[in-house]
């Protein structure tokens, strides 16, 4: 099984911080990893079973200005997990909104709907200046005191988390890979 990690990062240091740890978690789960940058992706390669659309650094907000095309990811008939900036892009493309909401550091997250990614109350690492208003296409799965932390598309196998599971909640990634 090959898992595609798609980066929204501009800086190599951001790749090291946000993409490399995801690749490690995936390899540790016994899966093969392929990586691409969102700006270089015209289609999802054949043989990909899951896609992760990774996050990036606070100051690295080019993804908001360039309006990258995530349609190839949405059209692939495989589960998608969008993380932080990836979740923001996913929601914006599907009719929701990106809103201003800052969270930095450890936050308490409460699961509010049964789902395959997370359960109960847990602590997660947040690093964002923006959050989301999910709109009608998504179900809210978990939230912190300040904002929505996890979502699921009502019809497609697309999920999003605003926190960074590669930092503290690797089980969320492993649970996603089990879909």
Residues serving a catalytic function are 84, 164, 166
Query: Which bin fits 67, alpha (ψ -120 to 50), beta or left (φ > 0)?
Result: left
What percent of the chain is helix, strand and coil (3-state, nearest 5)? 25, 35, 35
Q: In 111-158, where does DSSP find H-type helix?
A: none
Cβ(165)–Cβ(107) below 8 Å: no
Q: What is d(CA 132, CA 162) in angstroms, rounded to the nearest whole number?
A: 9
| CB proximity list for 52: less than 8 A, separation 6 or greater | 3, 4, 5, 6, 22, 26, 80, 81, 82, 83, 86, 173, 176
């Amino acid at each position: 099984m090959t898992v595609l990690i798609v980066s929204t990062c501009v800086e190599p240091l951001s790749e090291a911080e946000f993409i490399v740890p995801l690749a490690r978690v995936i390899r540790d789960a016994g899966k093969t990893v392929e990586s691409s940058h969102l700006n270089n992706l015209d289609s999802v390669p054949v043989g990909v079973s899951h896609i992760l659309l990774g996050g990036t650094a606070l100051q690295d907000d080019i993804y908001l200005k360039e309006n990258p095309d995530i349609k190839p990811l949405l059209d692939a008939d495989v589960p998608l997990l969008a993380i932080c900036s990836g979740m923001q892009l996913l929601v914006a493309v599907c009719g929701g909104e990106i809103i201003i909401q800052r969270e930095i550091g450890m936050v308490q997250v409460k699961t509010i709907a049964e789902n395959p990614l997370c359960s109960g109350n847990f602590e997660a690492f947040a690093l964002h200046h923006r959050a989301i208003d999910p709109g009608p296409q998504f179900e809210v799965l978990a939230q912190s005191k300040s904002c929505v932390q996890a979502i699921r598309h009502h019809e497609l196998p697309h999920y999003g988390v605003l926190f960074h599971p590669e930092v503290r909640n690797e089980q969320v990634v492993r649970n996603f890979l089990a879909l």
